[in-house]
Structure 1
Amino acid sequence: MPLFLKKTHRILYFIAVLFFFSLSFPALYFLAKNPQRNYASIVWFRKWISILSVHLVGIRFRVTYEEPIDWSKPYILCPNHTSILDITALTYICPQQFSFVGKIELLNNPVTRIFFKSIDIPVKRESRMSAYKAFKRAGDLLKEGKSVVIFPEGKIDDEFPPILHKFKPGAFRMAQENNIQIIPIVIQNAWDIMWDDGGRFGSKPGVIDITVLKPMDCTPTEGRDFDSIELEVYEKMNQVWLKQREITQ
């Protein structure tokens, strides 16, 4: 697809997001006044604003599960991160109530602000206090039976095409301290549909392939320490990531 058409498609996508968000805003504004009581409703609005927006511009999802997931219990969802469409991918996959942990700059975004002021968890990367508060808030949500999404790479890759970068330890420490399983998720080609926010290459219609791996226990045992667990998750995700890249190239 020519670049000018990709740029046009990106504009149409953001128009779709703003359209569905504007329709939902009066209800969200009211619900966000009491996010604890209205948590499930806010999650519902976030899900359908995201999904309807991508569907309107011809973006779909195809999900493969390594094994069936028991969604009756909370998890820490750990996807790779190459596109803002990863957010929609997670709302599509997960039928549970859940919160994202994301950069504090999302409070400045007119769409994501209301979610990060109510149900999601902003964190200032360079602040230990902010990281501690985010860690505690996420732990509280897990204890309430809600799931948490943490992108273990910490940010979208600056390289194109992207690779799977070394993980940060936060998700694994949280899983260990709360005795919660991690679900590794490989979002294969969102970067090809829209890399980052699409500012450089635009976006296009297409199917985003997602592989949901089986839940993994992060409790250290003899011969399996914290670092080896983190590496085990990384290597499993990277194997799936590289295999799919070989198939599509």
Structure 2
Amino acid sequence: MAELVYRPVVGTALAMFKALDLKIDVRGSENIPRSGGAVLVSNHIGYLDFIFAGMAALPQKRLVRFMAKDSVFKHKISGPLMRGMKHIPVDRENGEAAYAHALDSLRKGEIVGVFPEATISQSFTLKSFKSGAVRMAQEAGVPLIPVALWGTQRLWTKGRPRNLRRSHIPVTIRVGEAVEARTDQYAGALTRRLRQQVQELLEAAQRAYPVRPKDAHDTWWVPAHLGGTAPTPEQVR
């Protein structure tokens, strides 16, 4: 089926990032399967994460259908775009329809993107993972693809003003090796294993990040355990 919305949106986003001279560093895209279903699992630190996580699949000529809260689909601007790109709305009060929709997409050979933390991490550290991504992969018989993003919080994140006019911001994306989701594995244990792999990728992305805060006023995007002034997980809770 022709992608009348998704590919033009991707093209527009890439043009905008080029105009801003964002320094996007993607490693591990070869781990995205060239065909067949998969569940792409990413950490969540900014409102534009679905764009950057989706970029990880572009070298393999794949498009990712992200699961996102249904309020995004009701917005007068983002709603038509999200529906046109065939992303999957999630009603947090009743997630069964979204789960069934995602399973159907996976069985049709699509890549479904999931943020298993459910919401943006304001501490910029990994929160606990919900097990839905693993259960979907097990039921559909597809692999899990771990992804870590770093730097996207500097563009637009929860509780901070948008910073989309600032140029030269680096964004680091790391894609790990596929994780087999067998039905004989306990979903909770596999979810913990998957979280650990995303954690390792996140740490690798942070080590590779080419920018350090210039002064004490520019440490808000750095986690407390790395010397920054972002709130700790305990403070967020």
* Alpha-carbon distance in 2 for matches of 1:228, 1:46: 37
The structural deviation recorded for 1:152 is 1.0
- Please report how far the alpha carbon of residue 201 of structure 1 lies from its aligned counterpart in structure 2 after TM superposition: 6.6
- After superposition, the CA RMSD in angstroms is 2.3
Task: Give the equivalent residue in structure 1 for 2:221.
Answer: none
Residues 122-172 of structure 1 show CA distances to partners (whole Å, capped at 9, x for unaligned) of 1121x12xx11001111111121111111111111133xx11110111111
User: What is the aligned counterpart of 2:78 among 76, 94, 112?
Assistant: 112
Q: In the TM superposition, what whole-angstrom CA distance separates every residue of 1:59-113 from its partner, at most 9, and x where no partner exists? A: 2421111864431222111111111221221332212133111011102334321
Which of residues 64, 67, 73 is equivalent to 1:98?
64
> Which segments of structure 1 move beyond 4 Å, counting only runs of 4 or more?
246-249
Alignment-derived partner of residue 145 in structure 1:
109
TM-score normalized with structure 1 length = 0.73
Q: Any idea what the Cα deviations from partners look like across 1:179-214, whole Å, max 9, x if unmatched?
A: 1101000012212x3241684373532221111001
* Structure 1 contact 182–218 (Cα < 8 Å) conserved: yes
Indicate whether 1:238 and 2:202 are aligned. no
SS at match of 2:4: helix
Q: Give distance in 2, aligned partners of 1:235 and 1:68.
A: 17
Confirm whether residue 89 of structure 1 aligns to residue 52 of structure 2.
yes
Give the unaligned 5+ runs of structure 2.
213-237
**Distance (whole Å) between structure 2 residues aligned to residue 177 and residue 188 of structure 1:** 30
User: How many Å apart are 1:243 and its aligned residue?
Assistant: 4.3
Q: Distance in 2 between matches of 1:96 and 1:180?
A: 15
Cα deviations by residue, 1:1-58 (Å, 9 ceiling, x for unpaired):
xxxxxxxxxxxxxxxxxxxxxxxxxxxxxxxxxxxx54x2322123212222222222
Aligned to 1:154: 118
Bigger share in helix: 1
Residue in 1 aligned with 2:187? 226
- In 1, Cα distance between equivalents of 2:134 and 2:100: 14
Aligned positions of 1:16-35 closer than 5 A: none
Matches within 5 A, 1:1-249: 37-38=1-2, 40-65=3-28, 68-94=31-57, 95-118=61-84, 119-125=86-92, 127-128=93-94, 131-159=95-123, 162-191=124-153, 193-196=154-157, 199-200=160-161, 202-203=163-164, 204-205=166-167, 206-221=169-184, 224-246=185-207, 248=209
Distance in 2 (CA, whole Å) between partners of 1:198 and 1:50 is 23
Q: 1:226 to 1:64 in 2, by over 3 A?
A: same
Structure 1 Cα separation of the partners of residues 56 and 74 of structure 2: 26
Partner of 2:225: none
Higher mean C-alpha deviation, range 65-74 or range 79-88? 65-74
Percent identity of paired positions between Structure 1 and Structure 2? 20
- Matched residue count: 204
